[in-house]
Amino acid sequence: KPISYEEFVGAANKALQWVELRRRADELDNNKRYIIVKSEYKQVQIPIDKIQFIEGLKDYVKIYVEGEKNAILTLTSMKTIERYLPAAEFLRVHRSFIVNTSKISIIERNRIVFGNHYIPVSESYKQAFNDYVAGYSLSAQRDNQPGED
């Protein structure tokens, strides 16, 4: 049925406002700074910036948190938990491991060292990990600078 130009513009503006609200809500969801997981009949809030690494164990994951003596065990999959972590801060380095890149301090051969935990970097994730390391490596940056010796 025919509608007036004013009605059309009003409907278009309303749709635009709705899309903008949805986009803002999605941004807020992506900027969450903690996750809540169920562990031992409790809901545990974990600050994202305190997570060192996550280990997958079949139907469970172990979340290793800075300052905590024991890892937090929860019934979920690696794929599910990976969706809730900011991709800019976390990197999957193995089928069974996700690491917080800001917590990496030692890389030894093909593994990452977190205290007495050694996280392997598997072949299928090696290229992405090497690209990450190259982006922060001073030796790689130095090699690209001509005439500085």
What's the pLDDT at 2?
Answer: 86
CA 2 – CA 19 distance, rounded (Å): 25
| Residue 121 binned pLDDT confidence (cut-offs 50, 70, 90) | very high
What's the pLDDT at 17?
Answer: 87
User: What average pLDDT does this structure show over 20-38?
Assistant: 75
Q: ∠ CA 36-42-44 to the nearest 5 degrees?
A: 30
Per-position b or e across 110-139, b if 16+ CB within 10 A of its CB: eebebeeeebebeeebeeebeeeeeeeeee
Does pLDDT of 27 surpass 90? no
User: What average pLDDT does this structure show over 19-44?
Assistant: 79
CA 56 – CA 50 distance, rounded (Å): 18
Domain 34-138 sits in CATH at 2.40.50.1020
Closest CA to 85 of 104, 106, 63, 113: 63
User: What average pLDDT does this structure show over 58-80?
Assistant: 95
Closest CA to 97 of 132, 55, 127: 55
CB 50 within 8 A of CB 66: yes
Does pLDDT of 30 surpass 90? no
Closest CA to 72 of 38, 112, 33, 34: 38
**CA max distance for the chain:** 76
User: What average pLDDT does this structure show over 96-125?
Assistant: 94
CA 42 – CA 104 distance, rounded (Å): 29
Domain ranges of the chain: 34-138
What's the pLDDT at 29?
Answer: 59
The residue with tokens 């060292």 is 113
Does pLDDT of 106 surpass 90? yes
| Residue 33 binned pLDDT confidence (cut-offs 50, 70, 90) | confident
Q: Taking the mean position of all CA atoms in its chain, how far away is CA 112? A: 17
